Chain A
Amino acid sequence: MKLKQISVFLENRKGRLSGALDTLATAKINIRALSIADTSEFGILRLIVPDPDKARKALEKAGFTVKENYVIAVEIDDRPGGLATALKVLSDADLNVEYLYAFIAKGGDKAVVILRTEDVDAGIKVFRKAGINVLNGETLYKM
């Protein structure tokens, strides 16, 4: 149920982000979700893609530093307070969120967020117990 995410180190230099995205485009990899965390000198591009291994190999071949790790994708109600409800479940279980970003929405009454808790397995367990839908890769990539 854990979802594979790839992260790319980007120097804050002109053309680095587009360089990474071009690499993925050339490898015909469609990005399902992404976020960028940055400081004044560097950034981390986080990506959810249908074929993470292929994406990692393509990026590494192009000289990028890439890491794979796991995140959680949860389905929440697409209404005010939907995300707050999901996060309360985590805080009640004393689990910290390290970061979170939104999945590209495609209509319907549900929204998807990608998040990482310190302990990913524990996060999944807590969500499930609370009846929150944790999505697997297959479902997600088709959305």
Chain B
Amino acid sequence: MPRFVLWIWKVCAIHFAIGMAAYLHFLITGSYRYVTWYFLILGTLFFLLTTAAEFCLALECRAGFEADEPMRMAWSFIALSSLARFVAAAMVSLDHWRGTSLPADIPSVLAVVFPRGLAQAGEVVGGPLSMIFLVVALSRVLQVQHRFGVLRGLTRTDFLLIGLIGAFTVGEIANIVGYLGPSYPTPSLTKAILWLSDPLLAVLLVQAVMIRRSVIRVGLGLVSQCWEMYVIAIVTTLAGDASIWALGVGLLSQPLIVLTWYIWFFAAAAYASAPAYQLAAMTLPHIPERAMRRR
């Protein structure tokens, strides 16, 4: 396993272990105290760290390709997507601290500096905007894979999955159109943009199905593991999204609701690991034979 990937998952494992300790405390005592601290401080730090790492690694990958190479554009958009998620994590956390008052009911300095609605803007930047960047990047990757015959061999199950996702997207779009009717109030711009999250996630899922097939075709290697990580990240994001939906319709008990919040850490770690694999593949030929044997 490449060094950076190992680091990312080690940090994720330690972070998760601390989170589980906080969760156990919550289960035993019923108090949200430590769980809240964990998600607000360590959780935010983890998101900032992983998205920053992903951004830097994606920039390094981009630099490995020359201007006329097709994968350069893909890595430019992946870098933009990770930057959007980093900015979103920063905005959401700043909004939280903006709302926190000092003991004597004196408003926080951040409340004066930062405008209201920072969290909603963060949701837009980290949600639909970062997804659009990722869709563009993965489209380019699929285009290159198709050109080299890597993308052949989609099975019936793949087509069935793509069909199901397509049907789900059409249903979602029909729902959105329904909400635009005269019986509903006009949605705010932020809300309208956030509605795009599910259709965009569906597009990402279709891309993930296709990329997964290409990964199966070429077998495990550093580059294929990079794309496999994106598949894992997208599927984990879907799981997180599904848990939000389940929460909305009241399907989850309180302990389960808290447990679903941990899903997002795995998605963030998978997103950060992907460029780390690509960078490992690109730097491997530069590593001396002796050092490679030692690994």
Q: Do A and B bind each other?
A: no
Show the binding face of B for A, using Cβ within 8 Å.
Answer: none
Show the binding face of A for B, using Cβ within 8 Å.
Answer: none
